[in-house]
């Protein structure tokens, strides 16, 4: 019915009388979308524009009278300040390490879970659980219950085998943060990759097996190419979430011992140091970093999206 | 090699890999199991090396957490979290459902562009807007107000919900809707009789995932609330600095505050991956 009406409207040469009604129809179709769209623009885009503006001002909240326009002064300061530059580096290191490690572990677990075995459902549930612990709670768990040098579980287990008793957070602070995040994010990667594995073409794999392909060959030449985009998606979504990580850094080390990443630095520079201009400039830099990742992420999502659409 | 020998070999390998999978599951779950066990130990039993696995069980950790020892009660923060998560999830559904309808069943022109606009807002880091939001809240007296969190959590989850629901509504066959319309069914009937039954499981999963993200959120809550509107994760941050022997209490607190998320997550297990990948993976 709709199709015929549209066809008729299109067939009639655009007369002046028809135009208002088709425009009205356009607005009727658009109406359900508008509240969500307007809401999103106001709540997410406006604050960012404000951040952009503030980032050009030298503005410490403790000295509001001294506020003045400084062009790219804050950016220059962010990029030359040793602490801030280190936090840029920490962010990259933290994100890359966590994403790579959880992707590799997640791939291994997804391959294990892709086979049938007794209790597969239970194992799947056990593996998802770490992702479903409130991030602050997970960070507290690692900080106090697992990493504690005197009576933490890790050193308790090492004690059984007569191993060393390291002070995990003081000795290897960044690694400690990374380990807790890998524990939480591996299930996420596993779920995405498992979905990828289950969408493989099983007939093709059977055919290859009949033709005498080994497990390794099937994995290398059929499974891995098919998984490529799921791996990309996992890596990009993981990066977007982990670049923004605040909870683990805040809880485990309070940004100390060289673990302060950009989100923590932005938080600290305006919440504790009241350096509004600097914080905004650092925030804009986080956005630029995220946009670079996001461009790739959007491309992957849209290619998967188009494939789904064509399959449907 | 005979056929049966090959068969036993692959089967043995299968059992072996099943064991490896079980081992991995146990290793990943161990911290949570240990947290649960410790929460039922006394503080002295919780802090031993080697660990005391078989120490007597007690509810003291939970009593301490709920304020028996004179500490702050977690109830106000739990209620705040519940309000912020539930109300924001309802707002998300209210905004996302019509939007998803206009992006799938009766799509607007350039609907994919709109969809990708929603997705791109999710990729804008939270810290990018934090300072203006803080200044805005301070100047309008909205600081330490739970309703500000409701608005922010709604905006945080709306893109996810629009994406998920778009993919769920797209599964509703258009032919069925058109047939009903020819039979004279009006929009409310179409919505309640045709679209709702098909899309309901997806809508429920979307709601659960939005609930989880709101419940977990720390950065906004930490910066924009203090005493009155403090949420459960902010309450947890009071355990960041060590307070003597308090492991059982920390474990009890972490577990209680994670329970709603664990429950919601397991309930939405099958759709979890679709939600987390913003609908890109089914």
Give pLDDT tens digits for A107-160. Answer: 999 999 988 888 889 999 999 999 999 999 999 999 998 998 888 888 888 888
Structural domain includes residue A220: yes
Report CB contact under 8 Å: B219, A39. no
Q: What is the pLDDT along chain B (282 residues), one digit of tens a residue?
A: 455 666 666 677 778 888 999 999 999 999 999 999 999 988 888 888 788 888 888 888 888 888 877 778 889 999 999 999 999 999 999 999 999 988 888 888 888 888 888 878 877 778 878 888 888 888 888 888 999 999 999 998 998 889 888 888 888 888 888 888 888 888 888 888 888 888 888 888 889 989 999 999 999 999 898 888 899 999 999 888 877 788 889 999 999 999 999 998 888 887 787 777 766 676
| Gap between the Cα atoms of B29 and B25, Å rounded | 6
Report CB contact under 8 Å: B123, A240. yes
Contact A32, B98 (CB under 8 A): yes
- What residue spans define the domains of chain B? 3-65, 75-276
This prediction's pTM:
0.86
Please list every residue in chain B whose beta carbon sits closer than 8 Å to the beta carbon of residue A230: 281
Please list every residue in chain B whose beta carbon sits closer than 8 Å to the beta carbon of residue A40: 117-118, 121, 155, 158-159
Structural domain includes residue A12: no
Which residues make Cβ contacts (< 8 Å) with residue B262, sequence separation at least 6? A129, A132, A133
Residues A300 and A157 in one domain: yes
ipTM of this complex: 0.88
Residues A42 and A182 in one domain: no
CA distance B96 to chain A (A): 6
Window 31-90 of B: residues touching A by CB (8 A cutoff) are: 31-32, 34-35, 38, 46-51
Residues A70 and A132 in one domain: yes
Residues A200 and A72 in one domain: yes
Report CB contact under 8 Å: A233, B276. no
Report CB contact under 8 Å: A135, B98. no
Query: CA geometry: angle at A136 spanning B71 and A172, to 5°?
Result: 110
pLDDT at A226 over 80: yes
Region label for A115, one of left (φ > 0), alpha (ψ between -120 and 50) or beta (otherwise)? beta
CA distance B251 to chain A (A): 7
Whichever domain contains A129, its CATH number is: 1.10.3720.10
Residues A290 and A268 in one domain: yes
pLDDT at A5 over 50: no
What is the b/e burial string over B94-123, where b = at least 16 CB atoms within 10 angstroms of the residue's CB? ebbbbbbbbbbbebbeebeebbbbbbbbbb
Residue A16 structure tokens: 């002046």
Structural domain includes residue A7: no
Report CB contact under 8 Å: A29, B102. yes
Residues A160 and A106 in one domain: yes
Which residues make Cβ contacts (< 8 Å) with residue B153, sequence separation at least 6? B84, B85, B88, B213, B214, B217, B220
pLDDT at A21 over 70: yes
Residue A200 structure tokens: 């493989």
Window 106-145 of A: residues touching B by CB (8 A cutoff) are: 108-109, 112-113, 115-120, 122-138, 140-145
Instruction: Tell how far CA B24 is from the center of its chain.
Output: 24
Quick one: pLDDT at residue A308?
65
Structural domain includes residue A103: yes
pLDDT digits (tens, 9 = 90+) for B233-281: 999 998 888 777 888 899 999 999 999 999 988 888 877 877 777 666 7
CA distance B145 to chain A (A): 16
Structural domain includes residue A10: no
Residues A187 and A203 in one domain: yes
- A-interface mutation test, from B13, B14, B20, B28, most A Cβ less than 10 A away: B28
Superfamily the domain B75-276 falls into: MetI-like (1.10.3720.10)
Report CB contact under 8 Å: B127, A136. no
Residues A173 and A305 in one domain: yes
Residues A158 and A91 in one domain: yes
Total count of domains within chain A? 2
CA distance B231 to chain A (A): 12
Structural domain boundaries enclosing A28: 18-49
CB atoms within 10 A of CB B10: 10
**If DSSP states are collapsed to H, E and C, what string results for B192-249?**
HHHHHHHHHHHHHHHHHHHHHHHHHCCHHHHHHCCCCCCCHHHHHHHHCCCCCCCHHH
Residues A72 and A208 in one domain: yes
Window 13-72 of A: residues touching B by CB (8 A cutoff) are: 26, 29-33, 35-37, 39-40, 43-48, 50-51, 54
């Amino acid at each position: 019915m709709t199709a015929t009406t549209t066809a008729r409207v299109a067939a009639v040469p655009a007369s002046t009388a028809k135009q208002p009604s088709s425009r009205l129809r356009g607005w009727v179709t658009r109406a359900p979308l508008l509240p969500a769209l307007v809401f999103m623009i106001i709540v997410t885009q406006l604050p960012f524009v404000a951040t952009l503006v503030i980032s050009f001002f030298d503005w410490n909240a403790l000295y509001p009278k001294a506020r003045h326009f400084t062009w790219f002064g804050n950016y220059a300061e962010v990029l030359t300040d040793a602490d801030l530059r280190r936090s840029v580096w920490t962010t990259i290191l933290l994100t890359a390490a966590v994403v790579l490690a959880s992707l590799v572990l997640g791939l291994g677990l997804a391959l294990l879970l892709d086979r049938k075995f007794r209790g597969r459902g239970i194992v799947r549930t056990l593996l998802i659980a770490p992702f479903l612990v409130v991030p602050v709670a997970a960070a507290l768990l690692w900080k106090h219950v697992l990493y504690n040098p005197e009576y933490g579980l890790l050193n308790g287990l090492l004690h059984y085998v007569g191993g060393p008793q390291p002070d995990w957070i003081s000795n290897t602070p960044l690694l400690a943060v990374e380990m807790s995040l890998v524990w939480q994010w591996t299930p996420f990667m596993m779920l995405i990759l498992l979905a990828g594995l289950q969408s493989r073409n099983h007939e093709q794999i059977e055919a290859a097996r009949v033709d005498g392909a080994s497990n390794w060959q099937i994995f290398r030449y059929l499974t891995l190419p098919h998984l490529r985009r799921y791996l990309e998606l996992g890596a990009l979504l993981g990066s977007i979430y982990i670049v923004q990580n605040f909870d683990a850094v805040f809880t485990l080390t309070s940004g100390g011992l060289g673990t302060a990443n950009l989100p923590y630095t932005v938080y600290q520079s305006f919440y504790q140091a009241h350096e509004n201009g600097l914080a905004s400039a650092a925030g804009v830099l986080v956005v630029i970093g995220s946009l670079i990742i996001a461009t790739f992420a959007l491309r992957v999502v849209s290619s998967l999206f188009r494939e789904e659409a064509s399959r449907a | 090699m005979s056929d049966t020998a090959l068969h036993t070999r692959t089967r043995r390998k299968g059992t072996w890999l099943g064991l490896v999978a079980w081992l991995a599951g146990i290793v990943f779950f161990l911290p949570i199991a240990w947290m649960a066990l410790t929460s039922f130990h006394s503080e002295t039993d919780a802090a031993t090396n080697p660990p005391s696995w078989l120490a007597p069980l007690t509810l003291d950790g939970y009593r301490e957490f709920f304020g028996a020892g004179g500490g702050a009660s977690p109830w106000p923060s739990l209620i705040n979290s519940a309000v912020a998560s539930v109300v924001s999830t309802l707002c998300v559904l209210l905004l996302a459902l019509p939007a998803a309808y206009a992006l799938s069943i009766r799509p607007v022109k350039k609907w994919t562009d709109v969809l990708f606009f929603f997705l791109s807002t999710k990729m804008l880091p939270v810290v990018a807007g934090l300072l203006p939001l803080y200044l805005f809240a301070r100047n309008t007296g909205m600081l330490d107000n739970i309703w500000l969190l409701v608005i922010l959590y709604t905006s945080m989850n709306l893109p996810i919900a629009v994406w998920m629901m778009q993919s769920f509504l797209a599964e509703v066959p258009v032919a069925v809707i058109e047939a009903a319309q020819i039979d004279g069914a009006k929009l409310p009937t179409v919505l309640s009789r045709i679209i709702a039954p098909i899309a309901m499981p997806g809508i429920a999963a979307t709601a659960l995932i939005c609930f989880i993200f709101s419940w977990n959120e720390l950065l906004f809550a930490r910066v924009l609330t203090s005493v009155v509107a403090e949420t459960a994760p902010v309450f947890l941050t009071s355990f960041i600095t060590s307070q003597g022997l308090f492991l059982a209490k920390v474990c009890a607190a972490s577990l209680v505050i994670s329970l709603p998320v664990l429950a919601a997550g397991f309930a939405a297990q099958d759709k979890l991956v679709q939600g987390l990948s913003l609908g890109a993976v089914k």
